[in-house]
């Protein structure tokens, strides 16, 4: 569901439907651990200010209080928990999906979908994490099926 995040170290089948929202997936083969979020908006308002790009490094909000509606908060939580599990940056397989503009106005740089993609890519780059699989943008929604034990991802474009 939108605004939800799952971290799993047991086999699960997770599916979600994306439009302008994005799904960010972390998977570690060695740890047999996975995470997926369905973020709706790029940044979270904190104390009437927008989250900065430093959110992934330091944020005024404790991880347990993160709001997973936001890309910044979801990435922070997923990254911190993968590091706590013992994951190395180099072994985290990262996938990014969604960020479409599904209205008749067409794909624009000021759309929520575009902003979701940009903030996710920038935060991952700043943290030294590489995206290994992505299908983002466009004007069509997607259904994602994710298998946490294998890291397998199935994508259906609407």
pLDDT in tens, 48-97: 444 544 444 345 555 555 678 999 889 988 998 999 999 999 999 999 99
pTM (two decimals): 0.86
The DSSP annotation for 69-115 comes to: TBHHHHHHHHHHHHHHTT--GGG-EEEEEE----STT---TTSHHHH
**Cβ within 8 Å of residue 109, ≥6 positions away:** none
pLDDT in tens, 133-145: 999 999 999 999 9
Which of the following CATH numbers is that of domain 5-157: 3.30.1330.200, 3.40.50.2300, 2.40.50.100, 3.40.50.720?
Answer: 3.30.1330.200
Residue spans per domain, the chain:
5-157
């Amino acid at each position: 569901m939108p605004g939800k995040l799952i971290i799993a170290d047991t086999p699960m089948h997770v599916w979600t439907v994306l439009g302008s929202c994005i799904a960010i997936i972390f998977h570690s083969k060695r740890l047999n651990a996975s995470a997926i979020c369905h973020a709706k908006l790029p940044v979270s308002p904190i104390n009437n200010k927008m989250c900065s790009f430093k959110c992934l490094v330091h944020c005024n909000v404790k991880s347990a209080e993160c709001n997973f509606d936001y890309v910044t908060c979801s990435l922070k939580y997923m990254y911190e928990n993968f590091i706590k599990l013992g994951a190395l940056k180099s072994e985290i397989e990262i996938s990014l999906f969604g960020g479409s503009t599904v209205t008749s106005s067409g794909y624009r740089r000021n759309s929520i979908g575009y902003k979701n993609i940009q903030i996710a890519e920038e935060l991952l780059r700043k943290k030294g994490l590489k995206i290994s699989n992505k299908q983002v943008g466009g004007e069509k929604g997607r259904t994602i099926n994710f298998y946490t034990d294998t890291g397998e991802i199935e994508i259906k474009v609407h």
